[in-house]
Structure 1
Amino acid sequence: MERPLQLVLIADTFPPLRTSGAVQLRDLSRELVRQGHDLTVMLPAADLEEAWRLEQQDGVQVLRLRAPRTKDINYVRRTIGEFLMPFAMRRNLKRSPLANVKWDGVIWYAPSIFHAPLVNSLKKASGCKGYLIIRDIFPEWAVDMELMDRGLPYRFFAAVANYQYSIADIIGVQTPGNCPHFEIWQQHPDHKLEVLQNWLDKPTNSPCSIRIADTSLAGRKIFVYAGNMGVAQGMDILLDLAERLAARTDVGFLFVGRGSDAQRLRNISQARVLTNVLFFDEIHPDEIPDLYAQCHIGIVALDPRHKSHNIPGKFLTYMQSGLPVLANVNAGNDLVGMIRKEQVGLACESNLLDEMESLAEDLLRRIESDLALPRRCLALFEREFSAEQAARQIISALAD
């Protein structure tokens, strides 16, 4: 084993938040500690009255630093808050007991794209390497989604993102399809680009508060979607699919989570009187395995306007639970090739309802006839997406 390292992980999401990023970082943190390293997680905290607060979670030291609010506010206030965040964190770090720690490596997680000023100061003070984990390429995906054009806001965000890249020694992207975006960055002799697959830790055994057997979907084959319901997911087609399959009294659709589109989607379902659809609020991540044990097929949805590649965290949770997937994603996404090669579900690249209906019907037949399907899902997860694999890869890159 490599010598134990003194590491700092900088992010803007971590438990008690329940986002997929928070769960990922919790699992990575636990695994780094299991592998013998000393880890401090540094986070912005808008609700702190004091400048800093030091906590312990699962052997991980968590330092929360007072910073401006960046969640659940409008875009302008969020941008200003995120821009100021690393400077506020750096100022309050200097008041904390960890002000003068020398780190062996700095790991940071994007989104957000705004951590670079804090990361750069820690790297320089410690003379260490930095590993940037990129889970989406912003602002490019926002342009793809027509949330912004290539005007002044885009140029501002692109400059922030490029500064972040410039101070990274290693960048870990989530699929090979993301690599071309960093071709110029990679030409620097000291820069290393690698694919760092998404990861999850071993599941817990917490009982789920949702009991499908006690709902109107009892006894049906359940398509489940658990996670963020926002613009980037393009989920309207899933309600269209539910409406197409409404005559099948043996099939139901379960949507669990929150997001900017969640209430709108609920309203559409109610307006159409979709009796085969149920919505539930977000649940604790530890309840997810027991939820999936009650379901049959996991749904992955990405708006077809995306041009970047993405393997969502929910895909990993489906694989971990042995659930085959029905995916509606942008054409050419690396996820499609993985699903087809590993035979762990079916994927639609056309965003056409007729094709989605055909694939859903096909997959419903397959889960009855292909008894090895759950085993293939589990095998893919254990080979590619374990937290142990991700932690070892990051440590190897930092120690290289």
Structure 2
Amino acid sequence: MNFALIADTFPPLRTSGAVQLRDLSREFVRQGHSLTVMLPTSGLEQPWAMEVLNGVQILRLRAPKTKDIGYVQRTVGEFVMPFSMLKNLRKSPLADTRWDGVVWYAPSIFFGPLVSALKKRSGCRSYLIIRDIFPEWAVDMGLMGRGLPYRFLKAVANYQYSVADVIGIQTSGNAVYFQDGTSAQAHELEVLQNWLADAPVQRCSIDISKTALAGRKVFVYAGNMGVAQGMDILLDLADALQHRPDIGFLFVGRGSDAQRLADEARSRRLVNMVFEDEIEPDEIPGLYAQCAVGMVALHPKHKTHNIPGKFLTYMQSGLPVLANINEGNDLVELIRQERVGAAVTDGSVDSLKQMAEQLIDQAVQDTGFPSRCRELYERLFSPENAVKQIVGAFQQ
């Protein structure tokens, strides 16, 4: 089958979404399908640019800048984005291509007009992979109220839902967001688990033995450090465990809070904590091979359910996880049922400290941790399963 996959992140970006979509696109090709990834790209001198990578056709379409800019400018850019992409697609060699299916990835919530146009031209179905219930989570976090900006963004999100024939949500708990009379109710909802391709352990540019954490059992966090993660409690945890010379904390990545967190760690003289810049995704298994526990953080104000990409990377590497997440999140039950770590939901650093010490001791005693983590990854989070499920939705 011939598919179009629309997204706003893809390598060379290093975000978890970019890595996921790289792995998904490779798996489409491995299973014998043709795939074209369409990406908005600012700064292109020409309307479009095309390349083929690992059998995947990548079409970059000129569009306004939407990354690393202010909220207002970003919203305007994202609103214009699908129309710019459609205009420049019509100038590309793929202007008259007919697709057997259109798949798109949210965030962003603004691709609806582009998907609608491709569907109408090809007479095909569409599949929305939704990893981010926006703007709901922004309201939960207190980043916006339910005024005019919210109503505008909610209308955009509802339009995108109306364009989808099938919507793949992260967990069953997120189904509640589509039961309030939105246009998504008329369409099929299903749980589409996150995915991550298996990766070999390679050399990592970060050598923990050459840092201040040498000789310690390391709790690692690798990924975005922003408002949605609520990571201040992890600094409090490191502070509370300074009396344990055998435990250390490593933060790797970037984000709106990364520099503030590093500055705060220095001001509090947290000698058991090291910050490093983001590394290439292929280096992650080599990093985790040097660590004892992976950390997940989600702000307690969240009400949506989320299984972060970093959780998959920990499972893939056989690392037990320490999670500080929102009450009721489906991830809590998954961690506890599968016995792959510990989850704290009360937002208390004392609870987190107790769990961290128990987990680090348990990780030494329970030699079954790595195999349970790997088994969970292989059972639920493979790209092979994700592609088969998506393709199956088009074959109904």
Question: Within the alignment, does 1:31 sit opposite 2:20 as a pair?
Answer: no
CA distance, structure 2, for counterparts of residue 39 and residue 83 of structure 1:
25
TM-score (norm 1): 0.98
Determine the structure 2 residue equivalent to 1:145: 141
Partner of 1:111: 107
The whole-number CA distance in structure 2 between the counterparts of 1:364 and 1:16 is 35
Give the counterpart letter for 1:363 in structure 2. Answer: L
* 1:40 match: secondary structure: strand
Q: Equivalents in 1 of 2:28, 2:19: separation in Å?
A: 14
TM-score (norm 2): 0.99
Within the candidate set 79, 84, 95, 2:80 is matched to 84
Contact 2:162–2:184 (CA<8 Å) still a contact in 1? no
Partner of 2:153: 157
Q: Is 1:18 aligned to 2:7, yes or no?
A: no
Shift of 1:187: 4.3
Aligned-partner Cα distance in 1 for 2:176–2:40 = 31
How many residues align? The count is 394
Matched, 1:279 2:275: yes
Q: Does 1:49 align with 2:45?
A: yes
The equivalences for 1:188-203 within 5 A come to: 188=186, 191-203=187-199
Deviation at 1:206, TM superposition (A): 3.0
Per-residue Cα deviation, 1:362-393 (whole angstroms, up to 9, x for no partner): 00110111110111000000000001000100
The Cα of 1:204 is off from its aligned counterpart by: 3.5
Q: Kindly indicate whether the alpha-carbon contact (under 8 Å) linking 2:4 and 2:103 is maintained by their aligned counterparts in 1.
A: yes
Aligned CA RMSD, in angstroms, stands at 0.7
1:353 corresponds to: 349
- Larger CA deviation: 134-143 vs 175-184: 175-184
1:293 equivalent in structure 2: 289
Q: Distance in 2 between matches of 1:156 and 1:206?
A: 46
Q: Where do 1:159-178 residues align within 5 Å?
A: 159-178=155-174
Partner of 2:364: 368
Give the distance between the partners of 1:128 and 1:55, measured in 2 at CA. 25
Paired with 1:210 and 1:106, the residues of 2 have a C-alpha distance of 39
One-letter amino acid of the counterpart of residue 158, structure 1 = K
8 Å Cα contact 2:158/2:184 also seen in 1: no
Q: 2:175 aligns with which of 173, 179, 182?
A: 179
- Partner deviation per Cα, 1:89-147 (whole Å, 9 max, x = no partner): 00000000000000000000000000011000000000000000000100000000000
Equivalent position of 1:94 in the other structure: 90
**Which amino acid counterpart does residue 253 of structure 2 have in structure 1?**
G
Which of 223, 245, 251 lines up with 1:255 in the alignment? 251
- Matches of 1:65 and 1:341, distance apart in 2: 44
* Correspondence 1:215 to 2:200: no
Tell me, in whole angstroms, the C-alpha distance in 1 between the residues paired with 2:200 and 2:53. 16
Q: Are residue 69 (structure 1) and residue 72 (structure 2) matched? A: no
Determine the structure 1 residue equivalent to 2:238. Answer: 242
Partner of 2:316: 320
Q: Which runs of 5+ in 2 are unaligned?
A: none
Residue of structure 2 in register with 1:132 after alignment: 128
- Where structure 1 has 5 or more consecutive residues not aligned to the other structure, the ranges are none
Task: Report the alpha carbon displacement of residue 45 of structure 1 after superposing the two structures with TM.
Answer: 0.5
Distance 2:378 2:264 in 1: 38
The alpha carbon displacement at 1:398 in A equals 1.3
Return the offset for 1:41.
0.1
